Amino acid sequence: MNDSTTREERFAHGMEVLDKVDGEAGRRVLDALADINPELGHQVVAWAFGEIYDRPGLAPRDRQLVTLGMLTALGGCEAQLDVHVNAALNVGLTPEQIVEALTHSAVYCGMPRALNATLAAKKVFAERRLLPLGG
Amino acid sequence: MNDSTTREERFAHGMEVLDKVDGEAGRRVLDALADINPELGHQVVAWAFGEIYDRPGLAPRDRQLVTLGMLTALGGCEAQLDVHVNAALNVGLTPEQIVEALTHSAVYCGMPRALNATLAAKKVFAERRLLPLGG
Amino acid sequence: MNDSTTREERFAHGMEVLDKVDGEAGRRVLDALADINPELGHQVVAWAFGEIYDRPGLAPRDRQLVTLGMLTALGGCEAQLDVHVNAALNVGLTPEQIVEALTHSAVYCGMPRALNATLAAKKVFAERRLLPLGG
Amino acid sequence: MNDSTTREERFAHGMEVLDKVDGEAGRRVLDALADINPELGHQVVAWAFGEIYDRPGLAPRDRQLVTLGMLTALGGCEAQLDVHVNAALNVGLTPEQIVEALTHSAVYCGMPRALNATLAAKKVFAERRLLPLGG
Amino acid sequence: MNDSTTREERFAHGMEVLDKVDGEAGRRVLDALADINPELGHQVVAWAFGEIYDRPGLAPRDRQLVTLGMLTALGGCEAQLDVHVNAALNVGLTPEQIVEALTHSAVYCGMPRALNATLAAKKVFAERRLLPLGG
Amino acid sequence: MNDSTTREERFAHGMEVLDKVDGEAGRRVLDALADINPELGHQVVAWAFGEIYDRPGLAPRDRQLVTLGMLTALGGCEAQLDVHVNAALNVGLTPEQIVEALTHSAVYCGMPRALNATLAAKKVFAERRLLPLGG
């Protein structure tokens, strides 16, 4: 994206990255913003995905590990955990690795944050018929 | 650690894991706790490292990616970022990957948390003579 | 409020300020507290509104800008955002200014907090038939 | 727990402590974890309750006062407040003391956190037919 | 404080409570505010101490247990932990109980917050020549 | 910025906005990032200032009111408060309005966050020889 681009091209490029990582869940966020704050939707796509996610220095699965850690620590991000547990599966993390990352989070964020994130992941795993783990 | 173990054995096992991951920085935390709360030091070692870190389901480098995300998001954890940027390097993440993880954090935690974590990493990189990156 | 006042006078004065800023939404909070913690309700009214909100050094609309920033950053304050998006409209901020403040919040709090606050605002705007913006 | 113990013994011991403090609410958390992350459930029981809660240096009611303060401050922990308002009652705090602790929290966490915690307590008090207080 | 009082009387009453709980550390906070925001100092004294701390429903030691939990969970409150570890000692909590409360906090806030609060307590204990504990 | 632009043009435009708002303090942040994460510096300039700050829907002084609220609420952002108390003065907020905004923050964030932000402002005001207020 170093050469000359228009705002529309930056958005279009971000949408390609978003679709690969977040899939339908990402599209639903944009739809929800359409009648109140389409600019915020534009920035999620063109900036967060088109510029940051697209950078080559960290693998997509690695980005989701960092993201799961952040969303768990922030708290109150159940909607975003829904999107990003899906994203984590989309880019190749296994359900077992996601669960292990959340177990690990108890050390740094404490049990309440680890439990809340685990129950957010459980909802996604149930929708994708991945439960019970190890079953 | 499923078979019968003593409290001392659990601590000794945790110290092996701690030494591999955190190195000297981990020992300094234990030293600081010795005259006020050695029990908390015991739990960091025997539980956090001996039980959680030691589990096989997530690679040590992956645990540090999650950890960097959490410490950045929590804020006010500069001392722990110092330990865990060191740990991240110890278990095989490159300085460039660590920096990229912190750039990624701006999307989820905002610029202040991303900047504070980056300056904490800068201190570690300077001590380990890794700066300038790309130099 | 520098001269001699009773606890009841302080409450009555706070109710006047609360009614102007929060309107009915403020009354509903007090109702919810009545059977468990009327003292907390008293403090919201007599202290927060009667003493702090009532001070002349910052315009009501400016107080709501600061408040929207704080509630967005804190996270987990959807109920309070409901009250204060209403309050922001009551004291003269436009829907477009509120939305722009939440877009701005993405820089400092990250996308999840900005998105959660925007969806809380969307609920209020829908109730007040203000959507779609720009429509 | 200083002598030689198995993982199973540590879990069994933790369950005794958990049952006394959290009662049924604690069991429900474990049930919810069973098909996704039983290890996290094990750690809540064997570590948090079997090791930390079980230590003699702080009375169970004092632990719940600290816990109520932490959960209120963290935000987004309504599910955990449900468990621990119940726990606080189980170990001898009165409803009035719990409410007073939450009023006190307004000084340090601000009104939104104090209000959210109070409404979480109200739900528990209603279930246990303790409302209205002072009635 | 239900009868008619002046702003000055409310401040004077709050100072009595503040002096008993926080001692000199509280006075230093007021001094620091004198040339920039004496109103905030007034509110700390007249409201937080004169109104909330002064209420009879929760013992001073219990208020400090809740406070230590909140300050640990909030993070970035080292200055306030300094004041309130002193306050906790002033109102009758033992150093061992304070340390145990901070060990307990690891369960709910995670290790970084527990460690930061413990090191803040260590500074106070050293100033008051209470270290090593158990020595 | 809707027409075709290069990455360099976006950065140059952002620098103009940054210089007006943050002044020298903004430049110092970029300098600190130069040898470790110039990309993060680029994003602060080209995205945060060039895209978000530059939008016409909210006045610069209003953006700083929101920003002061967020930084106060987040905690652990003393370095950013330094930059943005300066920025608030640069775009036309008076010292008295800034102080009043921080007094207001006590209602929503609690006393510790309000006090920490006030002391961060005091440092800036002292450097700019604005103390004592009202003097």
**Does the beta-carbon distance from C36 to D76 stay under 8 Å?**
no
E113: chain A residues, CB-CB within 8 Å = 110
- Are residues F91 and F103 both part of a single domain? yes
Closest CA to E69 of A116, D112, B33, D101: D101
Distance CA F78, CA F128 (A): 17
CB-CB under 8 Å, F99 with E36: yes
Residues B5 and B47 in one domain: yes
Q: List the single residue in A75, A131, A133 with the smallest CB-CB distance to D76.
A: A75
Alpha-carbon distances of B94 from A92, B97, F90, rounded to whole Å = 21, 5, 40
pLDDT of residue D1: 47
- ipTM of the complex as predicted: 0.96
Where b means 16+ CB within 10 Å and e means fewer, C66-76 reads bbbbbbbbbbb
pLDDT at F52: 98
Based on the fold, state whether residues C7 and C19 are members of the same structural domain.
Answer: yes
Residues D79 and D34 in one domain: no
Which stretch of E2-11, E12-21, E112-121, F85-94 has the lowest confidence by average pLDDT?
Answer: E2-11
Nearest to B59 by CA among A52, A55, A61, A135: A61
Tell if the CB–CB gap between F106 and D108 is shorter than 8 Å. no
Does position A2 have pLDDT exceeding 60, yes or no? no
| pLDDT of E1 over the 90 cut | no
Among residues A55, A70, A86, the one where a domain terminates is: A55
Q: Do B109 and B124 belong together in one domain?
A: yes
The DSSP secondary structure of E54-105, one letter per residue, reads: T-TTS-HHHHHHHHHHHHHHH-S-HHHHHHHHHHHHHTT--HHHHHHHHHHH
Query: Do the beta carbons of residue F51 and residue F87 sit within 8 Å?
Result: no
- pLDDT value at F134 more than 90: no
What length is written for chain E? 135
Asked if the Cβ–Cβ distance from A112 to D32 is below 8 Å, we say no
3-class DSSP state of C10: helix
Give DSSP secondary structure letters for D86-102. HHHHHTT--HHHHHHHH
The structure tokens 């609920």 sit at C123
Residues in chain A: 135
Q: Is F75 on the interface with D (CB under 8 A)?
A: no
Q: Residue F134: count other Cβ atoms within 10 Å of its Cβ.
A: 10
CB atoms within 10 A of CB A24: 9
CATH code of residue A81:
1.20.1290.10
Q: State which residues of chain D have pLDDT below 70.
A: 1-2, 135
The residue out of C15, C30, C55 marking a domain boundary is C55
By C-alpha distance, the chain E residue nearest C39 is E52
> With 0-12 CB in 10 A as exposed, 13-18 as middle and 19+ as buried, what is E63?
buried
- Please tell me the predicted confidence (pLDDT) of residue A3: 75
Instruction: Please tell me which of the candidates A103, A116, A122 has its beta carbon nearest to residue D79.
Output: A116
Of the candidates C103, C110, C135, which has its C-beta nearest A39's C-beta?
C103
Is E50 in the same domain as E77? no
**pLDDT above 50 (res F1):** no
Q: How far is CA E4 from CA A101, D9, E48, in A?
A: 58, 62, 19
Q: Which of A3, A7, A43 sits opposite F6 (nearest CB)?
A: A3
D132 touches C at CB < 8 Å = yes
Say if residue E71 is in the same domain as residue E134.
Answer: yes
Among A53, A55, A84, A87, which Cα is nearest to A70's? Answer: A84
- Neighbours of B, requiring at least 3 CB pairs below 8 Å, are A, C, D, E, F
**CA–CA separation, F109 vs C71, rounded Å?**
9
pLDDT of residue D2: 54
Closest approach of chain C CAs to the CA of B109, in angstroms? Answer: 4
**DSSP 3-state assignment of A5?**
strand
Provide the domain count of chain C: 2
Is A105 at the interface with chain D, CB within 8 A? no
CB contact under 8 A, F32 and B119: yes
Say whether pLDDT at A1 is over 70.
no
Asked if C73 reaches chain F (Cβ–Cβ under 8 Å), the answer is: yes
Q: Say if E97 is an interface residue toward chain F (CB within 8 Å).
A: no
Question: Considering only alpha carbons, which residue of chain F is nearest residue A55?
Answer: F39
Under the banding of pLDDT at 50, 70 and 90, the label for residue A18 is: very high
**Nearest residue of chain F to residue A52 (CA atoms):** F43
Residue A59: which residues within 8 A CB-CB, separation 6 or more?
A: none
Query: Which residue among B32, B40, B70 places its CB closest to the CB of E114?
Result: B40
Are A42 and A65 members of one domain? no
- Helix, strand, coil shares of chain C, percent, nearest 5, are 75, 0, 25
Segment C34-92, tens digit of pLDDT = 999 999 999 999 999 999 999 999 999 999 999 999 999 999 999 999 999 999 999 99
Q: Which of D21, D30, D36, D63 to mutate to test the interface with A (most CBs of A within 10 A)?
A: D36
| A-contacting chains (≥3 CB pairs under 8 Å) | B, C, D, E, F
- Whole-angstrom Cα Rg for chain F: 16
Beta bridge partners of B5: D5
The sign of the dihedral angle between the CA atoms of E22, E28, E33, E38 is positive
Which among D108, D111, D112 is the nearest to F112, CB-wise? D108
What is the extent of the structural domain holding B32? 1-55
Max distance between CA atoms of chain C, in angstroms, equals: 52
Confirm whether pTM is higher than 0.90. Answer: yes
At A60-101, the pLDDT tens digits run 999 999 999 999 999 999 999 999 999 999 999 999 999 999
Q: Smallest CA–CA separation between B5 and chain D, in Å?
A: 5
Distances, alpha carbon B105 to alpha carbons B59, B81, B87, B117, F21, in Å: 21, 14, 18, 9, 24
Q: Using the beta-carbon criterion (under 8 Å), do B62 and A97 form an inter-chain contact?
A: yes
Residue of C nearest to B103 (CA): C110
CB contact under 8 A, A43 and F55: no
Find the mean pLDDT for residues E52-70.
Answer: 97
**F114 and F94, same domain (yes or no):** yes
Closest CA in chain B for residue D46: B47
Q: What is the pLDDT of residues A28-55, one digit of tens each?
A: 999 999 999 999 999 999 999 999 999 9
A32 with C114: Cβ contact below 8 A: no
Pinpoint the alpha helices (H) of E3-59: 7-21, 24-33, 38-43
Half-sphere exposure of C21 (CA within 13 A, CB side): 25
Q: What pLDDT does residue E134 have? A: 72
Q: Which stretches of chain B score pLDDT less than 70? A: 1-2, 135
What is the 3 state secondary structure string of chain B?
CCCCECHHHHHHHHHHHHHHHCCHHHHHHHHHHCCCCHHHHHHHHHHHHHHHHCCCCCCHHHHHHHHHHHHHHHCCCHHHHHHHHHHHHHCCCCHHHHHHHHHHHHHHHCHHHHHHHHHHHHHHHHHCCCCCCCC
Beta-bridge mates of residue F5: A5
List all residues of chain E from 27 to 56 with a beta carbon under 8 Å from chain A: none
Q: Provide the token pair at D35.
A: 């098909």
Distance CA B34, CA B73 (A): 29
Nearest residue in chain A measured CA to CA from D36:
A133
Of A38, A55, A72, the domain-final residue: A55
Residue-level pLDDT at C98:
98
Query: How far is F84 from E39, CA to CA, in rounded Å?
Result: 22
Q: Which of B37, B68, B70, B72 to mutate to test the interface with E (most CBs of E within 10 A)?
A: B37
A2 and F CB contact within 8 Å = yes
Tokens of E122: 């260590």
Cα–Cα distance measured from residue E17 to residue A88, given in angstroms and rounded to the nearest whole number = 53
Q: Which residues contact A121 (CB under 8 A, 6 or more apart)?
A: A81, A85, A98, A99, A102, D36
Q: Is the separation of the CB atoms in E21 and E90 below 8 Å?
A: yes
C104: pLDDT strictly greater than 50 = yes
Q: Do E36 and E101 lie in a common domain?
A: no
Question: Does one domain contain both A27 and A92?
Answer: no
Q: CB-based contacts of F35: which residues, under 8 Å, 6+ apart?
A: B122, B131, B132, B133, B135
Same domain, C22 and C74: no
Q: How many CB atoms lie within 10 A of CB D97?
A: 20
Give the residue among E72, D106, E134 at the shortest CA–CA distance from F114: D106
Q: Which residues of D touch F70 (CB under 8 A)?
A: none
Interchain contact C133–F (C-beta under 8 A): no
User: What are the distances in angstroms from CA E97 to CA B33, D16, E77, E121, E122?
Assistant: 16, 23, 20, 12, 13
The 3-state DSSP class for residue F13 equals helix
Q: For F73, which residue in chain B has the nearest alpha carbon?
A: B75
Distance in Å, alpha carbon of A26 to nearest chain B alpha carbon: 15
